[in-house]
Every structure is written in C-alpha cells, then in structure tokens.
Amino acid sequence: MKAIVTGATRGIGREVSKVLAGAGYSLAMLARNQDELDYVRRELKAVYPSQEFLTFSCDLSDAHATRNTAHKLVQQWPDIDVMVLNAGMYAEDELCEFDDRTTYKMLEVNALAAARFIRAYYPYLEKRKKGHIFILGSIVQRETRPGAFSYSLSKHALNAVFEHAWATLRVHNVRVTQIIPGSVNTSSWDGQDAPIEKFVQPEDIARLLINTLQSGGLVKELIIVPSQPGL
C-alpha cells in the first residue's frame, strides 16, 4: 500500500505519516525542508524497515516546482492508494490591508498545489477505480475569522477544489474526504499568546483520518473543533 503526504514533517502531516506507516503504508513525503524530511524518514524507517519512505523537497508556492514534483511522483508511483493534501501556510491580514504577494502565495500553497497533485494523478485514479484522497480544509471555510482574510480566501478556494474532486472522482469509485478542523496546535502559532493546549491536537486529526480510511465508508466531510467555543 502506498500513500502520499504533503506537509509531512510537522504538525498534522507528521502525525498522519506516523499513523499511515503504522497501518502498513509506504510513504512519499513532501515538504520544503530536506533535512526535516530526512529526519522523519530515518525515524519511520527505524520502526518500519520493510516499508519504503520516499522524500521530495518542494516549495509548493512555486507552481513550476509543484508541477515537476507531481510529475516525478506519478512516474515513480503511479499506483497510489491514499493521498493526503495537508500542506498549508498561514499569515494574518485583513481585507483592508492585504499584500498581493502574500495572498497569491497562500493561494498557491493552500489550494492550487492540491489541485495540481489531483490533476497529475487523476488519469491513474480514474483507471484503477480505487483510492482515497484526504484534503485538510479549515473552519474558516464556514466561519469568518478576523485577521485571516488571505487564509480564508485560500481555504475557500481549496473547498472548491474539494467539491470538484468529490463530484468527479466518486463516479470512479475514488473516495474524497475533507477534514475541517478548528484551531490546531501547530507551528503556525509559535510565538503567539494562544491557548494551544485547548486546541485540536495533530494526533487527533491523524486518528480521525486513519479511522475514516479503514472504515471503507463514503465520508464526504468531517468537522473537528476544540471543545471551547470560538477556537
């Protein structure tokens, strides 16, 4: 069994990589930092020596680099079983003062990169008539959060990617599930005065994902939020 995980070295992606490896999957892991990828690969290989762990360093804000990486993946692993489109970036801004470059970068990383990986694998998923794509959305797709204009814009775009993938791939027996978390304890909050102990934890999302994957059910969306309202 083979799975792709984007944003695999930190937070949600790292925990997802661990649970997928524990379930017997070989992994192709993507992130920007090759040193961090190598560390996670060694960590997993030490526990699961019979499984394959590929790493691909890629800046997903670079459309050309993303397309090239997706092409390499398809050439090396055309027969994937699971794709976890988790990579994302966050920066605070408002509609009245957003920076075009930052907004475009967030659109590339948070939405268009996911679309490009799905596009690259679409013919193979359609032909094999099996597989499961997980997309990591955000509660900002449902609730307006002050200070998160560009992030919200990018996640709404990602929701459009998800809806199109759901509608077009389900007829080919390919499952597509969007996980929509509230505030998650990740490195995005480093240096901020935030009650991260009350947030959704990355391992909670990883458990939710693997349980959904192994259930075999056709699950469209899952929402997971902290117990404290407003987070």
Tell me if 230 is assigned to some domain: no
Average pLDDT over every residue of 12-40: 97
Closest to 106 (Cα-Cα) out of 94, 89, 118: 89
Closest to 231 (Cα-Cα) out of 185, 165, 183: 183
Which pLDDT belongs to residue 142?
87
- Check whether 178 has a pLDDT greater than 60: yes
Give me the number of domains the chain comprises.
1
- Check whether 68 has a pLDDT greater than 70: yes
Which pLDDT belongs to residue 66?
96
Residue 105 phi/psi, 5-degree rounding, is -65, -40
Average pLDDT over every residue of 81-90: 96
> Domain containing 18 — which CATH number?
3.40.50.720
Residues 6 or more apart from 14 whose CB is under 8 A from it? 8, 40, 202
Collapsed DSSP state (helix, strand, coil) of residue 175: strand
Tell me if 15 is assigned to some domain: yes
Query: Which pLDDT band holds residue 192 (cuts at 50, 70, 90)?
Result: low
Average pLDDT over every residue of 148-161: 95
Strands (E), 17-144: 26-31, 53-57, 82-85, 132-136
Query: Which pLDDT band holds residue 73 (cuts at 50, 70, 90)?
Result: very high
Tell me if 229 is assigned to some domain: no
Which pLDDT belongs to residue 185?
62
pTM here is 0.92
Closest to 7 (Cα-Cα) out of 58, 42, 45, 48: 58
Tell me if 190 is assigned to some domain: yes
DSSP 35-58: HHHHHHHHHHHHH-TTS-EEEEE-
Tell me if 231 is assigned to some domain: no
Tell me if 36 is assigned to some domain: yes
User: Residue 194 is part of which domain span?
Assistant: 2-224
Average pLDDT over every residue of 18-46: 97
- Whole-angstrom distance, CA of residue 159 vs CA of residue 143: 13
Tell me if 63 is assigned to some domain: yes
- Whole-angstrom distance, CA of residue 112 vs CA of residue 7: 14
